[in-house]
Amino acid sequence: MQLTRWQRLGLTTAIGAVLAVGATALVVQALDDSPATPTKTAQTTDADASAATEEPARATPTDTPAAAPVEAEPALSAPVAAQIDYLLAHWKLETYNSAEWGVLGENDCVNFASQAMIARGWTMDGVWSSPKNGNAYDASAAWRSSTAFMNYIAQAGKATALTDQQRDQVKVGDIVQFDWDNTGDRDHTGIVTRVEKVGDTVAISFAGHTLDSDYRSVDTAITVDHPGGTAYYWSVP
């Protein structure tokens, strides 16, 4: 059958439309079948997380220096314990043992120190003695005079002399003597009742009569009570 010009034109148009639709369908299918391109998302790295959470730098704390340890005093031997007990029992005016040893008015320091040495175990001799009759003035010079007592200890060899620069060697129960005016004699005598060592510092306290005391500071005695005075010690074995 022979088609007219208009029929051929319509058929051509229809075929073109069909082809166009088919091509479009193929394109759509191709797009649907292609793998989806992943959407790039922001990724947080460890470095970023660290930077985000990192706190401001803090100053390194400075350690507080440790306090110097306090050195404990060694246990007292029985003789020294008896000596200290006697001192602490009789240092006050109302507890003086005057019935036995008497009192040397305002200069009773060596009389009291001598009593304490008897309590420790020292024995009297021809130079250092007391009749123990309640009259201190009947005692020998070495029993009641600081300077005579110094000379007696040195000559008898009953103790070792120490200067104040050697106070690290001083022990409880040792004898302390003072030269208030640095003339070479001895003006006061006591017995050491406490030694406190903190680091390189040594603080010494003593008991005595005239100024009645149980734990009087050596440092206070030579800087406040008698400025410029000097302390000396006898280390008793």
Domain tally, the chain? 1
Kindly tell me if the per-residue pLDDT of 63 is higher than 90. no
Which tokens in the block code for residue 128? 């250092």
In a domain, 175, yes or no: yes
Position 233 scores a pLDDT of 99
In a domain, 229, yes or no: yes
Position 190 scores a pLDDT of 99
In a domain, 182, yes or no: yes
Q: Could you give the percent of the chain with pLDDT greater than 90?
A: 68
In a domain, 159, yes or no: yes
Which tokens in the block code for residue 50? 């660290």
Residues of the domain holding 143 = 73-235
In a domain, 46, yes or no: no
In a domain, 194, yes or no: yes
Task: Output the domain CATH number for residue 194.
Answer: 3.90.1720
In a domain, 37, yes or no: no
How many CB atoms sit inside 10 A of residue 166's CB? 14
At residue 203, the 3 state secondary structure works out as strand
Tell me the mean pLDDT in the region 57-77.
Answer: 64
Position 166 scores a pLDDT of 98
pLDDT in tens, 15-54: 444 334 444 443 334 444 444 444 444 444 444 444 444 4
In a domain, 191, yes or no: yes
210-218 long-range contacts (CB < 8 A, ≥24 apart) are: 210/106, 210/107, 210/108, 210/109, 212/91, 212/92, 212/93, 213/91, 214/87, 214/88, 214/91, 216/190, 218/164, 218/167, 218/176
Position 161 scores a pLDDT of 99
Position 74 scores a pLDDT of 81
Model pTM greater than 0.75?
no
Kindly tell me if the per-residue pLDDT of 104 is higher than 60. yes
